[in-house]
Amino acid sequence: MNSLTETKRRPTDWQGAEMQQRIARRYAAERRFKALGMAAVMLSASFLAFLLVVMVGNGFRGFTQTELPVEIDFPAVTGGASPSQFQGPNANANVQSMGLREIVDSSIEIQYGQDGTNLFSSGGWTAVNAMILSNPDIVEQKATVYLPVISEIDVAYKDAGNPEAEQKVRELEDKLSTGFNWNFLSNSDATDPMQVGIWGAFKGSLITMIVTLLLAFPVGVLAALYLEEYAPKNRLTDLIEVSINNLAAVPSIIFGLLGLAVFLNFFGMPRSGALVGGLTLALMTMPVIVITGRNAVKSVPPSIREAALGIGASPLQVVFHHVLPLALPGILTGTIIGMARALGETAPLLMIGMRAFIATPPSGITDPATVLPVQIFLWSDEVDRGFVEKTSAAIIVLLLFLLTMNALAIYLRNRFETRW
Amino acid sequence: MTSATLLFLIIGLGLFAWFFGRLKASGLKASGKSSRSALHSLPNYHGWYVALWAIVPAAIFMAVWSFVSPALITDAALASPASAGLPQGAFARAAILSEARAIAYGNQVNAFNPLSQSMVEPYRDAISYYQMIGAVAALLMVFACGVYAWLQIKPDLRARTKIERVTMLILLLASLIAIVTTVGIFLSLVFETARFFSMVSPIDFLFGTEWNPRAVAGPRGETGFGAIPLFWGTVFIGAIIAMIVAIPLGLMSAIYLTQYAPAKLRAWMKPILEVLAGVPTVVYGYFAALTVAPALRDFAVSIGISGASSESALAAGVVMGIMIIPFVSSMADDSIAAVPSAMRDGSLAMGATHSETIKKVLIPAALPGVVGGVLLAVSRAIGETMIVVMAAGLAANMTVNPFSSVTTVTTQIVQLLTGDQEFDSPKTLAAFALGLVLFIVTLLLNLIALRVVKKYREAYE
């Protein structure tokens, strides 16, 4: 055997040209493979960068609005209203009754001609309303207010619009200016892109998230404690574990179907409300909390439990006085991650009717509400070009919240999680 | 008194009960020091004991009462003289009564039927009467049970044991919610699907090739509920195009980050990839519809593909693939890390280069784990909704041209349920049938994937 191989094969000539070539080839393959891996990572990261650049580039303009100055001679048009009328408890009613809309429109017509009002966004006069309430002295003066123009001119001024609007922009070039769009932060949904805002959707998201948290957190934590600390090894426990793992992988839209069939049609809960939305999202978030909670409970070392048992604590006292406080940072991290996912969720909420046009912010858990991601979806469907930048601006707000929540989760993990 | 105020009142009384129970137990403790009558449990547990006795029976009574009282209220309203003018027909009668009830509860302002208006007053009286009875009974129960528990407080009362038993029950109930939810999903889907299949044959649904849902059957009895084009669209976007993007990028990223990248780069790139998974799907959908789809259409037109749609399967698939990258990458990461280092070291010691070790040793060894991860990724991709709703079309085409428009199961569910809201039309019920198919398929994919991963883990342990 030994002699056979020796006669058939000469010792390898490592320094020979053939061998050198072969090694060079293998090293080249190694470099190519490594470069390929690097390229994959960079490509993935550049997708993220590209997405962010597109959203920020589009959305940044959503926070600004194009304005034209309007001079309002308050003493003349109001017939001598005094500032004291707009202070105190009756201020709101008095402003409402003064016919502000006509006042603003007539001031516009004086300066921009008969068709002047066509230049301005129809809800712009509400800005004057707010101005009087915040500074009643203004009604004794001549004041120049900056009012938002119609969406077509806004688009044309910022970017490129239709020829008609471009023509208008050229005519008014020296008067047009850009200001911060406060409406966007304080208004709700509207049909005019110049008047839309995210406050209603934001409030809806907030209420929905509170409902979700109140339901999913206690149930998730208690279930995690039971499964990790007390559950006997039997059929029922296996069934619970299988259910939880399944629920974590069920597509979110299925939860929407559940909410529609059970909460809306069977229990008859109010449609489009934050209550049903929160319930549906809670069912979705609970498995996430259970799974991360179990890992956090598992990582508490047995010596803690044994020490507590050793000094006479009951099994329940061991868990609630010792294990739970130590596992809490881990559980909170998981909860925040689960809540961040719920905050960005859209599909199940479409199923339970949270896609209606809602122009007033909800004030309770049963009021019709919408949430940020659904608002983004609704605006993305609008034909008006003015909505493009608003959609992206809303996306920026949503991403900011998600990033903050994730950063908080990472901070909690690094700050409080103990390595045993 | 509404039930919410009553509930708050009961809980408030429970707080008092807790306080008095604790006070009595503390007194016993102070007097019983160093004697044989020492307290079995800490005073806190006695407080909880009394509080639970005060709250729980009353709460259960309230729940039962809210089921029983509507029937009693209706009986009382019918017994009133105003009901004499009601029609005898059961159906018309029920309609009037339900309208009057809605007005009496304040859910509705005006009556369409004047007869309903006349019934509102009797209803209001009956409601306030029975609500008063319920409230008084509940409060009496709070006091009776609370006092009973308070009287029971003695040094040898095993309050802690009892409280712990209740707590264990609560823990068990919290865990059971998962089962209830799963069963709820399954039952609601199966129930609605059964109703759908009583109108449309399951064979037509599962094997039909024409998807054009309408409420009434066409002239030759065709219903347009053939779901094959949807299944194909779902597979085409989620399992083919998205995976062509996600598998190479995710796998190579995982290999590079675990095997080659310096620690610093890894520390930065891993969270960045994870951010990709945290971006809401509605944002991806908008990105696909606004940026990717028009660019792909222009590209297709420029290379001379006719019929390129602005709602192409490719746009939705590519963006979904990007979303899945971190998922594939972290699964691959885990399974490569689970390969015993002896195998890797052995290969390197034989003179293989890193890439040869990875290609010939690590990946074959990690393959079951990677396959399991890919199956999980597929199940996530086919259940994904917003990207396809916003970027894929509604036309149910059976095509392999990635530049044309296809539709998916999830898109159609959204489409069917957000149009008209008649709950009995086959159009809305079809959404539940599609949901059931989706549920079963993702469930099977997950079970298979988890089994594959588990088997493979065991092989190296």
Decide which of A148, A180, A212 is a domain's last residue: A180
Beta bridge partners of A64: A180
Specify whether A214 is located in the same domain as A166: no
Specify whether A408 is located in the same domain as A317: yes
Give the per-residue pLDDT at A1: 47
Specify whether A147 is located in the same domain as A247: no
Choose among A381, A335, A338: nearest CA to A252: A338
Residues 6+ apart with CB under 8 A from A137: A83
Task: Tell me whether residues B287 and A55 touch, CB distance under 8 A.
Answer: yes
**Does any domain span residue A34?**
no
Q: Where are the domains of chain B?
A: 3-157, 228-459
Decide which of A119, A149, A180 is a domain's last residue: A180
Residue B234's Cβ-count burial label (10 Å; 0-12, 13-18, 19+) is buried
CA atoms within 13 A on the CB side of A15: 0
B353 closest CB neighbour out of A27, A43, A391 = A27
Task: Tell me whether residues A258 and B188 touch, CB distance under 8 A.
Answer: yes
Give the per-residue pLDDT at B34: 54
From first to last of its 461 residues, what are the pLDDT tens digits of chain B? 577 788 888 888 888 888 888 888 888 877 765 555 677 888 888 888 888 888 888 889 888 888 888 788 888 877 777 777 677 777 777 777 777 777 777 666 666 777 777 777 788 888 888 888 888 998 898 889 988 888 888 888 888 888 889 999 999 999 999 999 999 999 999 999 999 888 888 888 888 888 887 666 555 556 678 889 999 999 999 999 999 999 999 999 999 999 999 999 888 888 888 888 889 999 999 999 988 998 988 888 888 777 777 788 899 999 999 999 999 999 898 888 888 899 999 999 999 999 999 999 999 998 888 999 899 999 999 999 999 999 888 888 888 888 888 899 999 999 888 765 566 678 888 899 999 999 999 999 988 988 888 887 777 76
Specify whether A261 is located in the same domain as A343: yes
Specify whether A219 is located in the same domain as A331: yes
Check if the beta carbon of residue A252 is closer than 8 Å to that of residue A185. Answer: no
**Binding-face residues of B in 305-344 toward A, CB within 8 A:** 322, 325-326, 329
Residues 6+ apart with CB under 8 A from B129: B76
Tokens of A106: 């007539």
Handedness of CA A279, A249, B213, B198 (dihedral sign): negative
A395 closest CB neighbour out of B286, B385, B418 = B286
Task: Tell me whether residues A41 and B269 touch, CB distance under 8 A.
Answer: yes
Encode pLDDT of A370-409 as tens digits: 999 999 999 998 888 888 888 999 999 999 999 899 888 8
C-alpha–C-alpha distance, residues A262 and A31, integer Å: 58
Tokens of B118: 């006349």
Give the per-residue pLDDT at B1: 54
Residues 6+ apart with CB under 8 A from B379: A249, B441, B442, B445, B446, B449
CATH superfamily of B228-459: MetI-like (1.10.3720.10)
Give start and end residues of each alpha helix (H) in A60-189: 74-78, 91-97, 100-112, 125-134, 151-158, 163-172, 182-186
- Given a cut of 80, whether residue A130 has pLDDT beyond it is no
Asked if A304 reaches chain B (Cβ–Cβ under 8 Å), the answer is no
- pTM for the whole structure: 0.86
CA–CA distances in Å: residue A28 to residues B248, B255, B360: 20, 18, 17
CA–CA distances in Å: residue A119 to residues A66, A156, A164, B134: 11, 13, 12, 62
Asked if A218 reaches chain B (Cβ–Cβ under 8 Å), the answer is yes
Using a CB-CB cut-off of 8 Å, the residues of chain A touching B385 are 251-253, 346-347
Encode pLDDT of A288-310 as tens digits: 999 999 999 999 999 999 999 99
**Does any domain span residue A7?**
no
Task: Tell me whether residues B280 and A262 touch, CB distance under 8 A.
Answer: no
Domain that holds residue A66: 60-180
List the Cα angle B270/B271/B275 in 5-degree steps. 120
**Binding-face residues of B in 44-73 toward A, CB within 8 A:** none
Residues 6+ apart with CB under 8 A from B283: A51, A55, A344, A376, A395, A398, A399
Give the per-residue pLDDT at B170: 92
Q: Give the number of domains in chain A.
A: 2
**Does any domain span residue A252?**
yes
Specify whether A132 is located in the same domain as A209: no
Handedness of CA B300, B305, B311, B312 (dihedral sign): negative
Specify whether A125 is located in the same domain as A258: no
**Does any domain span residue A273?**
yes
Specify whether A138 is located in the same domain as A250: no
**Binding-face residues of B in 149-208 toward A, CB within 8 A:** 160, 164, 167-168, 170-172, 174-179, 181-182, 184-185, 188-189, 191-192
ipTM confidence score: 0.88
Cα diameter, chain B: 101
Choose among B429, B417, B114, B245: nearest CA to A352: B417
Phi, psi dihedrals of residue B225, rounded to the nearest 5° = -110, 35
Tokens of B312: 């192409």
Residue B221's Cβ-count burial label (10 Å; 0-12, 13-18, 19+) is exposed
Report the pLDDT averaged over residues A224-231.
92
Asked if A408 reaches chain B (Cβ–Cβ under 8 Å), the answer is no
We report the CATH number of the domain holding residue A295 as 1.10.3720.10
Phi-psi region of A80 (alpha: psi -120 to 50; beta: other; left: phi over 0): left
3-state secondary structure A227-267: HHHHCCCCHHHHHHHHHHHHHHHCCHHHHHHHHHHHHHHHC
Beta bridge partners of A148: A67
Specify whether A216 is located in the same domain as A319: yes
Specify whether A226 is located in the same domain as A95: no
Residue A318: band (very low, low, confident or very high) from pLDDT cuts 50, 70, 90: very high
- Given a cut of 80, whether residue A313 has pLDDT beyond it is yes
Task: Tell me whether residues B178 and A314 touch, CB distance under 8 A.
Answer: no
Using a CB-CB cut-off of 8 Å, the residues of chain A touching B279 are 48, 51, 344, 399, 402
Residues 6+ apart with CB under 8 A from B458: none
DSSP classification of residue A418: P
Check if the beta carbon of residue B323 is closer than 8 Å to that of residue B275. Answer: no
Specify whether A169 is located in the same domain as A209: no
- Residue B448 CB coordination number (10 Å): 15
Specify whether A176 is located in the same domain as A258: no
